[in-house]
């Protein structure tokens, strides 16, 4: 450090041994070295220190220099804080990355359900359907577990006027009311299924993987896509912990 200060004309040694080249400093130079270290630790660069040292006791000059350096550091902190915010956001996204499990073939039995089927303006408004179904179940004190199905009846992906049916399992049938229907989901002899964890944004990755597997394995779709909410808003507080199983009826092509 002392050699660096010497090379930049900030602090010269009191003496240099002409035989060994050792730099020798006197006790009288300690206050000057202390001032250099103070300025360095406050964020001043070598050229700034070189300029300020002769004016160290000029309060006007030092106040101006310190104010300018404070503003620079605050601006730098704001830039770094913005980076930290972006890092935290990226970390959150990484936590939300949906783990897509291997495709599994299984048969699905018939199941008694209470369903609500509607044409909703956009897929995002499926949440409103679940709120209506939950209210219906609560008002009529229907014994229904937290696990529920989302059934997508459109043959192609749609962004508007989407045909969505939601359903919860029930022990016994009750009286239908409007779009609220008690029915039996039919058995599915063969269904290609895949599970993903995390928010429902993982649906698109999972359905893409499942569709690719179906095609590569020589199958075709033979019915509506089902989404089974194993862990959802009904029984889980954090989206990160959600667990969804997509089910597609298939048959050999």
Do 54 and 123 belong to one domain?
A: no
Dump pLDDT digits (tens) for 157-195: 778 899 999 999 998 999 999 999 999 999 999 999 999
Same domain, 84 and 47: yes
Residues lower than pLDDT 50 in the chain: 97
Domain boundary among 95, 126, 161: 95
d(CA 182, CA 144) in angstroms, rounded, equals 12
Query: Do 43 and 119 share a structural domain?
Result: no
pTM of full prediction above 0.85: no
8 and 36 within one domain: yes
Task: Give the CATH number, domain containing residue 46.
Answer: 1.10.1660.10
Residues 6 or more apart in contact with residue 4 via CB below 8 angstroms: 46
Query: Which regions of the chain does DSSP assign to beta strands (E)?
Result: 15-16, 23-24, 104-108, 111-120, 148-152, 162-169, 180-185, 188-197, 219-221, 225-231, 243-252
The pLDDT of residue 7: 82
Q: Which of 95, 115, 145 is the last residue of a domain?
A: 95
- Domain of 184, in residue numbers: 104-252
Same domain as 138, residue 62: no
Which of 95, 120, 145 finishes a domain?
Answer: 95
How far apart, in whole angstroms, are the C-alpha atoms of residue 203 and residue 100? 10
Note whether 205 and 243 are same-domain residues.
yes
pLDDT at 178: 94
Examine the domain organization and report whether 140 and 48 are in the same domain: no
Do 10 and 134 fall into the same domain?
A: no
Together in a domain, 139 and 74:
no
How far from 115 is each of 24, 147, 216, CA to CA, in Å? 90, 13, 33
CATH number of the CATH domain containing 232: 3.20.80.10
The verdict on 129 and 231 lying in the same domain is yes
pLDDT (0 to 100) of residue 145? 74
84 and 209 belong to one structural domain:
no
């Amino acid at each position: 450090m002392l050699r660096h200060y010497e090379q930049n004309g900030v602090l010269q040694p009191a003496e240099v041994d002409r035989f060994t080249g050792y730099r020798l400093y006197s006790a009288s130079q300690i206050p000057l070295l202390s001032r250099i270290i103070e300025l360095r630790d406050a964020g001043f660069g070598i050229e700034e220190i070189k300029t300020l040292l002769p004016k160290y006791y000029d309060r006007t000059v030092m106040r101006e220099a310190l104010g300018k350096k404070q503003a620079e550091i605050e601006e730098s902190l704001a830039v770094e804080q913005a980076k930290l915010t972006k890092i935290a956001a990226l970390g959150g996204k990484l936590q939300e990355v949906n783990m897509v499990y291997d495709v599994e073939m299984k048969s699905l039995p018939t199941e008694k359900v209470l369903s609500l089927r509607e044409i909703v303006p956009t897929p995002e408004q499926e949440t409103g359907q679940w709120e209506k179904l939950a209210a219906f179940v609560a008002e009529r004190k229907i014994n229904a577990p937290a696990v529920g199905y989302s059934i997508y009846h459109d043959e192609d992906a749609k962004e508007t006027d989407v045909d969505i049916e939601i359903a919860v399992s029930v022990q016994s049938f009750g009286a239908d009311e409007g779009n609220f229907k008690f029915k039996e989901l039919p058995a599915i002899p063969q269904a290609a299924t895949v599970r993903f964890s995390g928010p429902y944004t993982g649906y698109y990755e999972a359905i893409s993987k499942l569709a690719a597997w179906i095609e590569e394995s020589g199958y075709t779709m033979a019915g509506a896509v089902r989404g089974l909410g194993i862990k959802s808003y009904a029984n889980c507080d954090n989206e990160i912990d959600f667990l969804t199983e997509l089910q597609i009826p298939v048959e050999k092509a």
